[in-house]
Structure 1
Amino acid sequence: MLGFSPWQTFFLFLFSLIGSVINIPVYSVKVKQSVQEARLGSFTDFLYPQRSFSRQEMRSTIAINLGGAIIPVIISIYLVINNPHLMWQYLAGIVIMTTICY
């Protein structure tokens, strides 16, 4: 038992579902990426296009998802605070999952 009522569970699920489309940008990184361009002029260029490569500077944004990261972390913190007697089980679960995933 996690200690949530059915309505609380429903709304937590609903907020996570709605929040899954919201990304909160943390920072941006400049990256240089190769871009391939094909120039088409005649019919033979359609079959055998002339390709050229160039490097363009782009921005990559690092973001945190509201429904997939922030809401689950808040729920986890709530559960840890309200059930401190289960700390060893929490730590064992973290160690096991880290070992399996790593």
Structure 2
Amino acid sequence: MAFTLFWAALIGSFINIPIKEIKSYGPVVRMTKVSFFGITYPVPYVDWGEQKTVVSINVGGALVPLSVVLYEVVRLLVLDETFLFTRMATAILISTIVSKAFSRPVRGLGIAIPTFIPPLVAAILALLLGGDNRPLIAYASGTMGVLIGADLLNWNKLKELGAPMVSIGGAGTFDGIFLAGIIAVLLV
């Protein structure tokens, strides 16, 4: 199953599903033509105009981890494993706070987080809170912490990025999500 998730996340990282379009106004580089002695030169200038940012969701970085964690949440609730569910929710909350603290908006790209922060936090939380279920705690906290803390809690900053497309679970956060999943598998 871990091998299948690995490939599903890796292949799915190339697929972005558009979910929303955000419009904002800001500086836009435009071109004009100037003729000088019969030769036409393109001259760039800055003007204010409408910018569109397409917000999409990455299959490998958001939908695959979300489906795995939702499956585990339902499984824990059906099996009445409230203690493990509470530990998992606590780990996700801590990882979300750390991810929010380290994530930064990058103009023209999206929201970025240092690559090794999510897997390190996931591994530490798995060792502290995981008990016999370290892979579950590592995977859930590493993936959901980044998705919630880095991507969703920075939603209000997407207008300021000036990027033509921003991907939830992609670009600047996919590496951390993917590596957190790998670390979880290695803890097995």
Q: Percent identity?
A: 30
After superposing the two structures, state which structure 1 stretch, 33-42 or 74-83, moved more.
33-42
Residue type of the alignment partner of 2:69: S
Q: Does 1:59 align with 2:52?
A: yes
Q: Does 1:31 align with 2:51?
A: no
Deviation at 1:51, TM superposition (A): 6.0
Q: Does 1:100 align with 2:98?
A: yes
Q: Which structure is higher in RCO with an 8 Å CA cutoff and minimum separation 6?
A: 1
Structure with greater proportional helix content: 2
Residue type of the alignment partner of 1:88: T
In 1: Cα distance, 2:68 partner to 2:9 partner: 11
Deviation at 1:54, TM superposition (A): 1.1
Structure 2 unpaired stretches of 5+: 37-42, 101-188
- Tell me: CA distance 1:33–1:67, structure 2 relative to 1, closer, same or farther (3 Å): same
- Tell me: CA distance 1:89–1:37, structure 2 relative to 1, closer, same or farther (3 Å): same
Q: Corresponding residue for 2:75?
A: 82
Deviation at 1:99, TM superposition (A): 3.3
TM-score by length of 1: 0.69
In 2: Cα distance, 1:51 partner to 1:14 partner: 44
Tell me which structure has the larger Cα radius of gyration.
Answer: 1
Superposition RMSD on alpha carbons, in Å? 2.3
Structure 1 unpaired stretches of 5+: 1-7, 43-49
Q: Does 1:14 align with 2:12?
A: no
Q: Alpha-carbon deviations, 1:33-59, whole Å to 9, x = none?
A: 3134577777xxxxxxx7632123231
Deviation at 1:94, TM superposition (A): 2.1
TM-score by length of 2: 0.40
In 2: Cα distance, 1:96 partner to 1:80 partner: 17
Helix, strand or coil at the partner of 2:62 = helix
Deviation at 1:62, TM superposition (A): 0.7
Deviation at 1:28, TM superposition (A): 0.6
Helix, strand or coil at the partner of 1:77 = helix
Q: Alpha-carbon deviations, 1:20-43, whole Å to 9, x = none?
A: 01111111122223134577777x
Deviation at 1:90, TM superposition (A): 1.0
